[in-house]
Amino acid sequence: MTGTFPGRDGTELAYRELGEGRPVVLFHGYLSTARVNWLAYGHAARLAERGRRVILPDLRAHGDSAKPHDPAAYPPDVLADDGFALLEHLGLTDYDLGGYSLGARTVLRMLVRGAKPGRAVVAGTGLEGVVEPSGSVEHFRRVLDGLGTFDRGSAEWKAERFLRSTGGDPVALRHLLDTFVGTPPEELSRVETPVLVLVGDRDDGQRGADRLAALLPHGEFREVPGDHMSAVADPALGTAIADYLTTS
């Protein structure tokens, strides 16, 4: 099933659903889509098989969601606003949240702003990127401002290749970078939701995932095989998420 919902500013955003049961909303990473992160590798299907209703939005400026070029469509923390708009649109009150990379940081922004899921999963992120996202912002600005100029095999070249594989809109995606906000440690330390912090065991870019879990009052840390790109494609990721969200 596919559908659309309005962001709080009226921007039309897309989502997919599969399965039946208690809802779980999963947010994908930057430059990616719900289809790539959650459907292509079977993670969403694994949750559906465990009796969950899996809801997969395409973030603003990604996938089938609107990609406005007007900077006014990208206020600070707009992805969390969009997440709340989806919960309201679907009338969800008893649900779980999960996300990978930017999607994980979006989950944390929603938690510190008052979202009350039963459980949450934040995957592919560490404490540094949550508290201060400027490093990833500058990296992706370099990518989007220098398309076609990078040495083959470089981190920027790999990001550009991924961008082209997903059909990303560079103008909209660059505007989205201006919306990223950090989450101070003191706000994280007040999150009462049980949270699984899940990261690839070779994901050197997401340092401090274990410290993020330790800072959260009900945090749990776990590793799965892979680096930042390969971990999201490994069945172990979906299994770990499903185990955490479907175990009493």
pLDDT in tens, 120-175: 999 999 999 999 998 889 999 999 999 999 999 999 999 999 999 999 999 999 99
Between CA 12 and CA 67 the distance in angstroms is: 9
Proportion of the chain above pLDDT 90, given as a percent: 96
pLDDT at 63 over 90: yes
Q: Are 36 and 24 within 8 A, CB to CB?
A: no
Q: What are the φ/ψ torsions at residue 106 (nearest 5 degrees)? A: -65, -40
pLDDT at 248 over 70: no
Residue 7 is predicted with a pLDDT of 97
Packed helices 170-177 and 134-145: angle between N→C axes, nearest 10 degrees: 160
Give the chain's mean pLDDT.
Answer: 96
